[in-house]
């Protein structure tokens, strides 16, 4: 399982011009899952995401979790996180 997370003030998912999900403050999670991932992997990542202290507390310090900030999350399937990438094509000449 691979995830890219971004703290957002708002986010939405639109498919063919139709908004299917929307949140205010919270996390946008791009998630790649493979056959070998287990329910334990899902539980570990879920706990990690909800308890990651990346939101500002009352003093403006990043010390509050998604769970404690009462934020939301949008999780978007992103199978390309497992795509093979050839770095030889990325070199500057």
Q: How confident is the model over 24-47, as pLDDT tens digits?
A: 999 999 999 999 999 999 999 999
Q: Which two tokens stand for residue 24?
A: 């205010």
Cβ-contact 73, 26 below 8 angstroms: yes
Cβ-contact 26, 74 below 8 angstroms: yes
pTM: 0.82
Cα–Cα–Cα angle for 12, 77, 13, nearest 5°?
Answer: 15
Residues of the chain with pLDDT under 70: 86-93
Question: Residue 10 to residues 23, 36, 58, 73: CA-CA distances in angstroms?
Answer: 6, 32, 20, 10
> What confidence score (pLDDT) does residue 65 get?
95
DSSP strand pairing (11-15 vs 18-23): antiparallel
Percent of the chain with pLDDT over 90: 83
């Amino acid at each position: 399982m691979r995830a890219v997370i971004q703290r957002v003030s708002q986010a939405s998912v639109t498919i063919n011009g139709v908004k299917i999900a929307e949140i205010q403050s919270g996390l946008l999670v791009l998630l790649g899952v493979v056959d070998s991932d287990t329910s334990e992997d899902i539980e570990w990542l879920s706990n990690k995401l909800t308890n990651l202290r990346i939101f500002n507390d009352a003093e403006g310090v990043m010390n509050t979790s998604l769970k404690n900030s009462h934020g939301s999350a949008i999780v978007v399937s992103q199978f390309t996180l497992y795509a093979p990438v050839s770095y030889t094509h990325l070199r500057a000449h």
